[in-house]
Copies of this chain bind each other. A is one copy, B any other.
Amino acid sequence: MARILITSGPTRQYLDPVRYLTNASSGRMGQALADAALAGGHQVVIVSGPVEVEYPAAAEVMRVITTEEMLAACRGVFPDCDGAIGVAAPCDYRPEQVAPGKIAKTGQPLLLRLVETPDILAALGEEKGRRWLVGFALETDDQHRRALEKLHKKQCDLIVLNDPSAMHAAETQVEIMDATGRVVAACSGSKASVAAKIVEVIGQRLTPGTTSLKS
């Protein structure tokens, strides 16, 4: 049994009180992972951006809007967890300046200067100590190489490769890759069945008392 942090959903980075930059993410995979982890007897803490899905009542849910807020919430709860699954799609750029009032249209192009937001998965990787970390990679090109780079850069133990077409779909298809670049599991189907598989692989490889990747 483990206490698992799950980040879920998108974050928003506002330009002004009305407009924002974000990523396509429904929170459904976070919901499915929470269900699967709870079904496996684990405790679940969800840090979620704005989504319409309903998370399981047995999970502790912390709501955030921006990437900075998501990072702060994760840093608060990660020390008391055994591991984290980063399935959120945090917005990785933010407008350098946020207008206090709604930006009026002028008929002219609007030049927006975006700066990078903090990398939540990398920050958790740096602070993880003995905790485990599972990331998700959503790449449109050269998926396996980029996913493995991401795993190493963010100090993940496993990374789940996901296709952009799955973002709002009911059916999904993933591969789970370890730190050697080996695909240790692949599955497709409903988000519920894929989530169950991911939690099973985490249980086999990362939670104590079972065969670990690192032992």
Complex contacts, A41 vs chain B, CB 8 Å: none
Residues 109-122 of A, flagged 1 when their CB comes within 8 A of B and 0 if not, give 11111111000000
Q: Which residues of B contact A110 (CB under 8 A)?
A: 93, 113-115
Q: State whether A164 touches B112 (Cβ < 8 A).
A: no
Chain A 7-36 interface 0/1 with B at a Cβ cutoff of 8 Å (1 = within): 000001001111111111010000000000
Taking the closest CB of chain B, its distance from the CB of A137, in whole angstroms, is 11
- Nearest CB of chain B from residue A154's CB, rounded to whole Å: 12
Q: Are B113 and A109 in contact (CB under 8 A)?
A: yes
Counting CB contacts under 8 A, is A107 at the interface? yes
In the bound complex, CA of A24 to CA of B50 (Å) = 10
Q: A22-B22, A110-B114, A112-B114 are in contact. Are A140 and B105 (CB under 8 A)?
A: no
Closest residue of B by beta carbon distance from A19: B23
Contact A18 B164, beta carbon cutoff 8 Å = yes
Determine the distance from Cα of A102 to Cα of B167 in the docked complex, in whole angstroms: 14
Closest residue of B by beta carbon distance from A18: B23
> By the criterion CB–CB under 8 Å, are B22 and A20 in contact?
yes
A28 to B: closest C-beta gap in Å: 10
Does A18 contact B112, Cβ atoms closer than 8 Å?
no
Q: What is the chain B residue whose CB lies nearest that of A12?
A: B24
A residues 65-89 near B (Cβ < 8 Å) are 89
New A-B contacts (16) at CB < 8 Å, excluding given A20-B21, A20-B24, A22-B22: A17-B164, A18-B23, A18-B24, A18-B164, A18-B167, A19-B22, A19-B91, A20-B22, A20-B23, A50-B168, A52-B52, A101-B140, A102-B138, A102-B141, A109-B115, A110-B114
